Amino acid sequence: MWRLARSAASNLRRARPFSSCIPGPCIVHKRGADILHDPWFNKDTGFPLTERDRLGLRGLLPPRVISFEQQYARFMESYHSLEKNTQGQPDGFVSLAKWRILNRLHDRNETLYYRVLIDNIEDFAPIIYTPTVGLVCQNYSGLFRRPRGMYFSAKDKGEMMSMIYNWPANQVDMIVLTDGSRILGLGDLGVQGIGIPIGKLDMYVAAAGINPQRILPVMLDVGTNNQKLLEDRLYLGLRQPRLEGEEYLSIVDEFMEAVHTRWPKAIVQFEDFQMKWAFETLQRYRKRFCMFNDDIQGTAGVALAGLLGTVRTQGRPLADFANQKIVVVGAGSAGLGVLNMAVQAVKRMAGADANPQFFLLDKDGLITKARKVIDPAAAPFAKAPAEIEELGLMEGANLIEVVKKVKPHVLLGLSGVGGVFNEEVLKAMRESDSAKPAIFAMSNPTMNAECAAVDAFKHAGENIVFASGSPFKNVDLGNGKVGHVNQANNMYLFPGIGLGALLSGARLISDGMLQAASECIRDITAEVGAAVIQAAVAEELAEGHGDIGPRELRQMSKEETVEHVKHNMWFPIYSPLVHEK
């Protein structure tokens, strides 16, 4: 399902051993020590002697030239000895130590960093992304050594149009933006949430081959309502409550205008905004800018792919999806995004009058039309009392009641609450109307997952289809059997969405493009990107990118589009540096 061929990265690795590429030259406007201190251009001891002469590096490095392969091996050796030396230490300590060693390399030599990341993505994704990135965000102010990306704060109002030109790269293709208000399931982390855009963009480079010189992580610091952070003497963000209402929107507006002015074609991914702003900003900008909200739209795509995959696993025709009983726990940006896309899929399969059997719960239980105050975004999924009367359910019914009475085919958690699928709930899933019920504990990081994989298989039985947002190991069920754990995380989708949108030069990101992405999630990111391009072309949104115009895109077959995407993926290899004043 989501075991995505270890992402496009491993294909790239197979296709390109260390020495087989002759990279094109790279223009550098610096010389001497400035180059060594710039992680873009720095090759550490890897600078050939001729290049040391050309760039004024002679004498600034030890004399021996070390090859990229040797540097790579040396880094991996230190990484493995760190693993050995920290054996038996608490998990958090080990994870942070691993993050530090990778982060130091990132700060020093980006080419080597991305190469080790790409080649070891399965081991390193849990460090640079969920779950460790959550721990890093929680401790960001203490861990801080140097900045990465850009920080726009409420104090910068009126200045953003000029500030955006402080970013040193002339071209930016992909921006991930957060206001830090809902970081994974960890709540409001203020400026410390910058770790999420950084981790997401690393996944873009690793999985989609986006050129790391053209990415930009951005923190929009509008204050924080996290009292603990406000009182923390190390806290690096604005010490003020979050801006609200028009004041808040005017900051986001100004940022979006500034980005669009400098890089009209850049794609902006909104990430980890609290629900009210996630929906409001998506509504506000989606027709004006090339942007999407990953938590609403990326998550929906990946969950839908999983839900459709589950129908297939049950040996049923895909159209049977329309009859699946799905209980969604969590009515936030992610849960509602999933339901919106799932409803669209049912209507496509079973007609506009189809009545999907979806049940939505939030912290106050089952959401029905009888609820006094209901969020407008959740309202379309509220059950009419008459619909649930015969099941013996009513407004606010708790999760265990709902599971016992509905006997769902799928139980999907996007609540951010660790352990909410407790033993009783999981045992109740044994009575599901499906022989292979699906349990998706999609909340992040690991401690916020609705249940652990081992508990799901233990209490709900061996036949379940299990997926989680953060990685869990497969479960040994005894008798030689293994309970397979899938990872249901938007990381399998957003790199392809961004890459496809970028290479199509789409004016905006449509539902059709997102739908196309979710339909081919079993394939590698290049396929996702190609599907997104083709959807953009079909909807006449594609304006082309670089030398490839909309007409050329239109004329490409599916295979040619996939090739075109692969050809445009950046790959870490040292390029000869040519100095220009």
Ligand X SMILES: NC(=O)C1=CN([C@@H]2O[C@H](COP(=O)(O)OP(=O)(O)OC[C@H]3O[C@@H](n4cnc5c(N)ncnc54)[C@H](O)[C@@H]3O)[C@@H](O)[C@H]2O)C=CC1
Q: Which residues are catalytic?
A: 129, 200
Burial of 149 (0-12, 13-18, 19+ CB in 10 A): middle
How many residues contact ligand X, by CB under 6 A?
Answer: 30
Between 118 and 338, name the residue whose CB sits nearer to ligand X.
Answer: 338
DSSP string, 364-421: TEE-BTT-SS--TTTGGGPBPHHHHHTTT--TT--HHHHHHHH--SEEEE-S--TT-S
Residue nearer to Mg ion on the CB measure, 173 or 295: 295
- Cα separation, 252 vs 259, in Å, equals 11
**Stretch 109-138 residues interacting with ligand CC(=O)C(=O)O (CB under 6 A):** 130
Q: DSSP string spanning 90-143?
A: -HHHHHHHHHHHHHHHHHH-HHHHHHHHHHTHHHHHHHHSTTHHHHHHHTHHHH
User: Annotation-wise, does 295 bind a ligand?
Assistant: yes
Stretch that binds ligand X, among 63-71, 74-82, 357-365, 472-480 (CB under 6 A): 357-365
332 binds ligand X (CB under 6 A): yes
Number of other residues whose CB lies within 10 A of the CB of residue 295 = 27
Q: Which of 36, 291, 382, 488 binds ligand X (CB under 6 A)?
A: 488
Touching ligand CC(=O)C(=O)O, residues 485-504 (CB under 6 A): 489-490
**Nearest approach, Cβ of residue 511 and ligand CC(=O)C(=O)O (Å):** 19
CB of 470 to ligand CC(=O)C(=O)O, least distance (A): 8
Sign for the CA dihedral angle at 485, 489, 494, 497 comes to positive
Q: How far is the CB of 274 from ligand X (least distance, A)?
A: 6
**For residue 413, which of 467, 374, 461 has the smallest C-alpha distance?**
467
Asked if 184 touches ligand CC(=O)C(=O)O (CB under 6 A), the answer is yes
| Parallel, antiparallel or unpaired: strands 465-468 and 325-329 | unpaired
Task: Report how far apart, in Å, the C-alpha atoms of 270 and of each of 147, 273, 282, 332 are.
Answer: 20, 7, 8, 15
- Helix (H), strand (E) at residue 486: strand 485-487
Does residue 455 bind ligand CC(=O)C(=O)O (CB under 6 A)? no
With CB atoms as reference, the residue minimizing the distance to ligand X is 332
Cβ 6 to ligand X shortest distance, Å = 18
Structure-block tokens of residue 218 = 């951005």
SS3 call for 187? coil
Whether the CB-CB separation of 459 and 427 falls below 8 Å is answered with: yes
Taking CB under 6 A as the rule, does residue 294 contact ligand CC(=O)C(=O)O? yes
Task: Round to whole Å and give the CA distance between 401 and 425.
Answer: 9
Task: Single out the residue of 196, 208, 308, 329 in contact with ligand X (rule: CB under 6 A).
Answer: 329
Stretch that binds ligand X, among 222-230, 285-293, 324-332, 517-525 (CB under 6 A): 324-332
SS3 at position 273? coil
Q: Is 272 in the site for Mg ion (CB under 5 A)?
A: yes
Nearer to ligand CC(=O)C(=O)O by Cβ, of 418 and 469: the residue is 469
- Tell whether 320 is in a known binding site: no
Shortest distance, position 417 Cβ to ligand X, whole Å: 4
Cβ atoms 247, 178 nearer than 8 A? no
**Window 415-444: contact mask with ligand X (x via CB under 6 A):** xxx--x---------------------xxx
Q: Is 312 annotated as a binding residue?
A: no
Looking at residues 68 to 107 of the shown chain, list those that interact with ligand CC(=O)C(=O)O (rule: CB under 6 A): none
CA distances in angstroms from 366 to 329, 371, 409, listed in the order given: 9, 9, 17
Give SS3 for 553: helix
Nearest CB to ligand X, comparing residues 34 and 122: 122
Site for Mg ion in 275-334 (CB under 5 A): 295
489 is in an annotated binding site: yes
Interface ranges with ligand CC(=O)C(=O)O (CB under 6 A): 130, 184, 272, 294-295, 444, 469, 489-490
Interface ranges with ligand X (CB under 6 A): 182, 184-185, 275, 295, 299, 302, 329-335, 361-363, 414-417, 420, 442-444, 448, 469, 488-490
Annotation: binding site for a divalent metal cation: 271-272, 295
